[in-house]
A and B are shown apart, each in its own frame.
Chain A
Amino acid sequence: MLSYHFNWSIIWTEPYGRWMLQGIWVTIKLGIICWFIALILGIIIGTFRVAPFRPLRMFGAIYTEVFRDIPPLVQLLFWYFAVPSILPKSIGMWFYRLSNADFWIVVLALSIYTSSRIAEHIRAGIKSISQDLFHAALSTGFTHFQTYRYIIIPYAVRIMMPPLTAECLTTFKNTSLAMTVGVLETTFMSRQIEAYTFHGIEATTAASVVYMGITLTVVILLGLIEKRLAVPGLITRSEGGR
């Protein structure tokens, strides 16, 4: 490293330190909101895909395939640039006057994208449950709806904890896409600091540490939930071999 001298203190100097903290806060907010919306949407769509009602299944399938096969950044820019120009003028104007328009567009785009992926995990999880369990519930007098609600979905959720944990991590990482539309989250802030101080390595390292910290936190938290929900005797992690 020839002509670069490090200055790690810029990370906590005013105003850069404050910028980073603001960015971290936005990242966390984005991640949590998107994750919860995506989870609910994803469970609904995923259930649609295995419902005994063909139109629902088709809707679920189309939704999942469309939003999974288009890159999240493309989807975000579509919502941000393309959609406003086809909305009626009045709604468009109202939306742009919202101070947080950018933030909520990202929430919309990212939630829909993530929900399609979650829907796929849900579908795979439900499919992996044997039909016999389903029949057993029906034979005790449950309706289809009740069977899903009390038996299938709770069991499926437990099986799906590992892929869902991975999806949660992906969501937090995808919040970095928000920087492309000017949302002041962690990655954006690290670029900002770099632009002002030319200390890109320190800024990017700080951002990296933030994301690693978020990842670690999510893995630990969801790991705890996984343990509490775990079905005894069910091997959920396939580590292969014996």
Chain B
Amino acid sequence: MGSFDWRVIQNNLPFLMQGLLTTFQLALVGISGGFLLGILVGMARLSSIKVIYYPATAFVNVTRSLPLILVIFWFYFLVPVLLGRSIGDFSSACVAFVAFEAAYFAEIVRAGIQSVSTGQMQAAYSTGFDYRLTMRYIIVPQALRNMQPSLLTQSVIAFQDTSLAYVIGLNEFLHSASIVDAREMRSVELYTLVGVVYFLICFEMSMLAKRLEAKKGHGQ
């Protein structure tokens, strides 16, 4: 084994950067789409209407018991069958991610809303607020504040999860690095690069989450 040769990264930088960009795009879609869908599903999990509660609960429990790889495969092979045509790597990955992360965001939303004490709800009701007003001005604002650290942590996890699109050959960051590796046989430099980049990004985000958590602890 020779010494580290960082030129392999230099030479292939555009390609690798394109992969990183794809990773960011996938993460953005997955996190925002997953969060929005997660809000709907999370609130459905709090509903007392059975036709809303049971499907939402089933969705969350099933999705959370499956590995992401399997969910990716599901959408990758199932969607073309349903639609009669293929929708491409990136789109399949996006759909899979949004569905998968939504199940996790839903639980965070549900816990966030339940973390607001029932006393708050009673106080609002006692002044003549109805359900809608109570949720909108009293419960949800507090729930969102309580959820912030968990939301951020889940986003970090979602960002890491994008690396799994590797299995369907999507050219996100990890896969791009593996392609360069296949050609140049410089595994150490390349996989170290991938590790370091992910580390820097996720470390920053989790530090941010810790700071948010600490701020919350000091009262409002």
Q: Report A's interface with B, CB cutoff 8 A.
A: 1-4, 65-66, 68-75, 77-78, 81-82, 85-86, 169, 173-177, 179-180, 187, 190-191, 194, 200-201, 204, 207-208, 211-212, 214-216, 238-242
Q: Which A-chain residue is minimally distant from B62 (CB atoms)?
A: A212
Partner of A82, one of B84, B118, B188, B206: B188
CA distance A91 to B65 in the complex (A): 38
Q: Given contacts A81-B191, A176-B69, are A200 and B77 in contact (CB under 8 A)? A: yes
Interface on B for A, CB 8 Å cutoff? Answer: 1, 62, 64-70, 73-74, 77-78, 81-82, 84, 111, 113-118, 156, 160-161, 163-164, 166-167, 174, 178, 181, 187-188, 190-192, 194-195, 198-199, 201-203, 206
| Contact pick for B163, options A74, A82, A216, A238, CB 8 Å | A74
Q: Is the CB of A176 within 8 A of B194?
A: no
- Cβ of B181 and Cβ of A81 under 8 Å apart? yes
Q: How far is A215 from B63 in the complex, measured between Cα atoms in Å? A: 11
- Bound-state CA distance A200–B73 (Å) is 9
Q: Which of B67, B74, B82, B191 has the most CB of A within 10 A?
A: B67
Contact in complex: B73, A70 (CB < 8 Å) = no
Looking at chain A's contact residues, the main secondary structure is: helix
In the bound complex, what is the Cα–Cα distance between A187 and B67 (angstroms)?
9
Q: How far is the CA of A71 from the CA of B26 in the complex (A)?
A: 15
**Nearest opposing residue in chain B for A27, CB measure:** B67
- For A71, what are the chain B residues with a Cβ–Cβ distance below 8 Å? 160-161, 163-164, 174, 198
Cβ B191 vs Cβ A177 within 8 A: no
- B206 — which chain A residues lie within 8 A by C-beta? 65, 68-69
Overall SS of chain B's interface:
helix
User: Which listed residue, A2, A69, A74, A211, touches B191 by the CB 8 Å rule?
Assistant: A74
Q: A242, B117: Cβ atoms under 8 Å?
A: yes
Q: Which residue of B lies closest to A240 (CB)?
A: B114
B66 touching A208 by the CB < 8 A rule?
yes
A78 / chain B contacts, CB cutoff of 8 Å:
191-192, 194-195
Asked, given contacts A74-B198, A241-B114, A242-B117, whether A176 binds B65 with beta carbons under 8 Å apart, the answer is no
Closest beta carbon of chain A to B116's beta carbon, Å: 7
Task: Report whether A70 and B167 are in contact in the complex, using a CB–CB cutoff of 8 Å.
Answer: no
B166 and A73 contacting across the interface, CB-CB below 8 Å: yes
Bound complex: CA of A20 vs CA of B85, how far in Å? 29
Instruction: Please name all residues of chain B whose beta carbon is closer than 8 Å to the beta carbon of A216 when the two chains form the complex.
Output: 65
Flag if A173 contacts B67 (CB, 8 Å). Answer: yes
